[in-house]
Amino acid sequence: NAGVTQTPKFRVLKTGQSMTLLCAQDMNHEYMYWYRQDPGMGLRLIHYSVGEGTTAKGEVPDGYNVSRLKKQNFLLGLESAAPSQTSVYFCASSYSQVGAQAFFGQGTRLTVV
């Protein structure tokens, strides 16, 4: 049981390049989330999804897009990377029941130069 898997684990981008981060979960969770974590700060919600085919904006959605074409996958896209998007990105998933705990992936460390 792999839980939540993020791909890739590390990436360096040049300003203006695009990339997609993949999150896959094998727990049949309805909810999926993308967070970013910057040094000395807590996690901030970028986008989330409450089910296949749905997405919604979190606290810091600008510069990111997401898609959830399949229940088990949640993709985070950066169309034109900026140095301000240098961060560690975490994906998480959970059941939709009230109080369900969230399971997090190992993170993707992204550097934009």
Residues binding other proteins (CB under 8 A): 4, 31, 33, 35, 40-45, 48, 50, 56, 58, 90, 92, 96, 98-99, 101-107
Cβ 31 to other proteins shortest distance, Å: 7
Cβ 11 to other proteins shortest distance, Å: 15
Q: Which is nearer to other proteins, 15 or 111 (CB)?
A: 111
Token readout for 106 is: 């190992």
Q: Which is nearer to other proteins, 48 or 74 (CB)?
A: 48
Q: Which is nearer to other proteins, 14 or 62 (CB)?
A: 62
Q: Which is nearer to other proteins, 84 or 96 (CB)?
A: 96
Decide: 93 and 87 in contact? Cβ < 8 Å. Answer: no
- Distance, in Å, from the CA atom of 45 to the CA atom of 55, rounded to the nearest integer, reads 13
- Distance, in Å, from the CA atom of 39 to the CA atom of 20, rounded to the nearest integer, reads 22
- Distance, in Å, from the CA atom of 55 to the CA atom of 25, rounded to the nearest integer, reads 16
Token readout for 3 is: 């839980």
